[in-house]
Structure 1
Amino acid sequence: MDSLTSTRVLGPSDLGAVTRVVDREPLIDVFVGSRVHGSGMVPTKLGGELWGYFIDHQLVAVCYAGANLVPVGADPVAARTFADVALHRGRRCSSLVGQADAVMSMWDLLQPEWGPARDVRSSQPVMAITEEAAVEPDPAVRRVRPDEVEVLHPAAVAMFTEEVGISPNGSDGGAYYRARLSELVRAGRAFARFEDGEVVFKAEIGAVTPKACQVQGVWVRPDRRGHGLSVGGMAAVVSHALREIAPAVSLYVNEYNHAALGAYRKVGFTEVGRFATVML
């Protein structure tokens, strides 16, 4: 007898089932996990929709639909189902990101309608660490203070533009991006090394769950690259995070960024999965 499958938008009454899905691989699915744990699945706090894929009335996979489209726990059938839902609802996101097999399965169906993509990064190692770094933390790397947001902001814009290929200062003049950066600073989740009043290394912790947090926005000023700042800097971020934020630290990185991969391995990060990102 064939299994019965269904898909629907999830809500607060689904919190228990959703939590079980996003916590299956907590070092990988940090972003969606942070949205679920932080919102309690209340729609006004979730920042988007969460679609559920059910087999015989049991929730087995979800897909976050907001500024990004992010599948969690999706096998090829669930991924194609989520792509069908996205096609029916119309494109509302600027990227697809998540476990590589699911994202690329979705993109196979979405590409004829939504393509061409600005960039497809089909293999991005997801790395994690659960104990103190293997190298000495840089003692000059510290939390950014609220009165230092204006000093941090140019470095953050430079990182985003370099990584994504477009400036975050879009139609709103960068107001949303600046507000998000200020929010991370106020939450104590932005770290930097300052020299002569300028940022030479920075990183933020963008998502947090009870089980893990995810580092984003790692950047070294171009003229200081190759001097080991990222190794000591990331060791310091890991130390702060493990002590004060979450019991594990994860991140994902472009496969071709050999310098970053080498730095993270020196710190003690190991690969735990693979992401893919499709930028639209």
Structure 2
Amino acid sequence: MSKFSLQGKNAIITGAGSGIGRAIALVFAEAKANVQVLDLNKEAANEVVLEIEAAGGTAQSHACDVSNQTEVKKVIDAIAENHTIDILVNNAGIAHVGNLEGTTEADLDRIYAVNVKGVYNGMLACVPYMKKSGGVILNMASVASAVGIADRFAYSMSKGAVLTMTLSVAKDYVKEGIRCNCISPGRVHTPFVDGFIAKNYPGEEKEMFEKLSATQPIGRMGQPEEIANLALFLCSDEAGFITGTDYPIDGGFIKLNT
């Protein structure tokens, strides 16, 4: 068996219909995991499954609103009827632009429901199964978990919570054989970024893309596959000695900008 193989493991990935989640699903499938593709958009989840199957992998798709605890538990319980719960990647998340005064109560509640409660719901549904034979949880945090980012009040709040939830779960369940870590990406080039630029800076897409890329000291945005490769390592047996740790993958953003 090659290094970083996930053969024989079942991996649940939320928000896997696009962007970083899709990249993680494809990389995990290439590493021989059976991948459970969860996304609010069932059609997008189905497309990822077709990509995986076309490449010779195995995967199943599930429509899932991570902010709905009942729905999350129903999906996880259904998966557990036929598969072990070996890996959970809490990737689903949404963004918000605005400082404190530019964040309404509705904005805060919306971000909390997906980015904080969604991670909680995923872990709450999976941990009872993982306690039986161990498992790995990987949460998607952000550079905003560690440093202040202008006009990202609600988003930063949510990603700070992801970091501390990760540490808490890692400590509480280490003796149960459950590892829990998180990844903190900087700016990553995804369809979401392209859509954000097109919506907010029409006619200035090229200039704004270059400006955002330049905020990373390395001089470019990350690629989803780069995040996925780190996720693969942290969820593999080769990372068996790693838990309770946050991994920035940010082109030097945190250390070289502060």
> Under a length normalisation based on structure 1, what TM-score does the superposition of the two structures give?
0.27
Q: Per residue, is there more helix in 1 or in 2? A: 2
> Under a length normalisation based on structure 2, what TM-score does the superposition of the two structures give?
0.28
Q: Per residue, is there more strand in 1 or in 2? A: 1
